[in-house]
Amino acid sequence: MTRSVAISWSGGKDAAFMLYELRQEAIEIATLVTTINEATDRSSMHGVRRELYHHQASSLDIPLEIVTLPPEPSNEVYEEVMAGVFDRLADDGVDTIAYGDLFLDDIRAYRQKQLADTPIDGWWPLWDRDSTAFMDDLLDVGFRPIITAVTGDSLDASFAGRPLDRACLEDFPSEIDPAGEHGEFHTFVIDGPTFSYPLKVARGRQVTREVGDTEIHYRDLMIDTP
């Protein structure tokens, strides 16, 4: 059966590599779905500006759907907003949404619960990948991620803003998952085999915010204009 697939799109390495593999299999990608916090006009976890997602989608030549969330939404509000998104996707002929999770069972179970009463099926094309092998594959094919945020109790703030390359991986503490699957860091991809042109970005200031009991260190990225 032919699938019409939306991608849950963070702009980071997992989603980017998943898109690459789906295109290798000639899977139809209908749209990228990204959530943005209305108070900051950025993605909540990655801290990436709205405009960067538009530039990214343009280089990838895929439509982008921005879903705006209120500041600090409750689970109930978040799930209500996303249920509306899934209904709209289904109305547009989308039957599947793909997630880039590698192995966290609780996150997958939560997503499955979200989708249970919708017309959309969940799909996990990268599921059960080894993190080290995944990062090798990602870098081997030429993706260029930049670390946009790090969790303070996992990584030093100086990692925020670094290119996620092999030198960076070697500098990670041994207890860090190489793909950051436990939330140690988040990324934004500026180039790779699915891009028609690389994004030119400048690094702005670093900001530290308290998220619950955890410090998150963000490095601002902006489109670098002459």
Looking at every residue in the chain, the average pLDDT score rounds to: 93
155-192 tens-digit pLDDT:
999 999 999 999 999 999 999 999 999 999 999 999 99
Q: How confident is the model at residue 152 (pLDDT cuts 50, 70, 90)?
A: confident
DSSP for the chain reads ---EEEEE--SSHHHHHHHHHHHHTT-EEEEEEEEEETTTTB-TTT--BHHHHHHHHHHHT--EEEEEE-SS--HHHHHHHHHHHHHHHHHTT--EEE----S-HHHHHHHHHHHTTSSPEEE-TTTT--HHHHHHHHHHTT--EEEEEEETTTS-GGGTT-B-SHHHHHHS-TTS-TT-TTSSEEEEE---TT-SS---EEEEEEEEEEETTEEEEEEEEEE---
Could you tell me what percent of the chain has a pLDDT over 70?
Answer: 99
Per-residue model confidence (pLDDT) at position 45? 83
Mean pLDDT of 75-80: 90
Q: How confident is the model at residue 212 (pLDDT cuts 50, 70, 90)?
A: confident
83-105 tens-digit pLDDT:
999 999 999 999 999 999 999 89
Q: What residues pair up with 33 in beta bridges, in sequence order?
A: 8, 65
Burial of 147 per CB tally in 10 Å (0-12, 13-18, 19+): buried
Closest CA relative to residue 203, chosen from 10, 52, 13: 52
8-31 tens-digit pLDDT:
999 999 999 999 999 999 898 999
> What domains does the chain contain, in order, with CATH numbers?
4-223 (3.40.50.620)
pTM of the model: 0.94
Backbone dihedral angles phi then psi of residue 163, each to the nearest 5 degrees: -65, 140
